[in-house]
Amino acid sequence: MPRYLDQAQRRDGRFTSAAATTLARRDLGAVQVLDVHAPAGRGAPAGYADPGDALVWAFAGSGAIVTARGSHEVECDKGRLLVNHMRRVDSFRMTRDYRALSIRVKADDLHLRPRDIDRLSAASVPSSLLLPRLLGACAAQVMSGPAERDVAATAAAARALIDLARAHADAVVGRATPPEVRGRELVLRAREFIVHFAPFRSVTPHTVADHVGVSLRTLQKAFEADGTTVSEVIGAARLARARLLLREQPQLTVEAVAERTGFGSASVLSRTFRAAHGMPPGEWRAAARGANDEARTPG
């Protein structure tokens, strides 16, 4: 049985800054993403702020936590997700090695009834399930990105997290997921597949649609709502991979880069590269190398 630290008790309607340790935080307005650890001990900077009227999706990366509401306790350990409306939690306790990726969403943005929240927080679930996995991946990407984002990127990230959190809540409580949310889920799943497999020439809009389990027309409509097309995303992923190989593996010929990125031939890669960057791959590689050499030269 894991050994838990002392309980953090709700006092005067909130938890104190000593209840846990926050090592990093990304504030997206309506949503916050945090790297939360067990309390670090007296004198250590805590950085923890009570979530207030927020629902918290906590993905346990290590250790365990137990939350209590009255006599009802729920445990969540590594590889699982626990959701709580922290205003309704009386106390919690963690193991010393507890660490979680935590997402805070304003309760009003999810439109959940009290009984829905009770069902959502009744037990932890495996974080490997589809919707938790998508939500966790989106949050991890936000956390690994820059702390400062432009307004459009911040709004888009917050919207994606809210939509996925709502979709997960709907799945648990049995509500129907709105069509626009289902579309965003499809786009996220398709993009994840494309990022990993675009370098294979066999990847086409049809194979992406097959992977996510919908017709090509359904997938195309979801991408249109996102302001792009499946083909454009595949092309962008291949182009990004080509730039990486051209910059970091100078021994590769343009033909070899084309073969390793799904373009198939140097002529197709060159045509695509010229359209995107105004120059062929070899010239771009030389310019990138020159910029790197200049950056390394002492001023």
**Is the pLDDT at 80 greater than 90, yes or no?**
yes
Question: Residue 257 in 3-state DSSP?
Answer: helix
Residue 87 lies in a domain: yes
pTM of the model: 0.62
Cα–Cα dist 184/223, whole Å: 8
Same-domain pairing of 77 and 171: yes
The predicted-structure confidence for 104-120, as pLDDT tens digits, reads as follows 998 888 888 888 999 99
Residue showing tokens 């021994």: 251
Q: What percent of the chain has a predicted confidence (pLDDT) above 90?
A: 55
Count of beta carbons in the 10 Å neighbourhood of residue 252: 15
Domain count, the chain: 2
- Residue 93: give the domain boundaries: 8-177
Q: Which of 14-28, 123-137, 181-195, 212-226 bottoms out in mean pLDDT, i.e. has the lowest?
A: 181-195
| pLDDT, position 107 | 85
Strand 80-85 relative to strand 54-62, pairing: antiparallel
Phi/psi for 148 (5° steps) reads -100, 125
- Average the pLDDT over 12-16 and give the result: 89
Residue 40 lies in a domain: yes
Residue 294 or 121, more confident: 121
- The region, left, alpha or beta by phi > 0 then psi within -120 to 50, assigned to residue 41 is left
Cα–Cα nearest to 92, from 218, 8, 192, 209? 8
Single-letter residue type at 8: A
Burial class (CB in 10 A: 0-12, 13-18, 19+), 43: exposed
Residue 184 forms part of a structural domain: no
Domain ends where: 159, 177, 195? 177
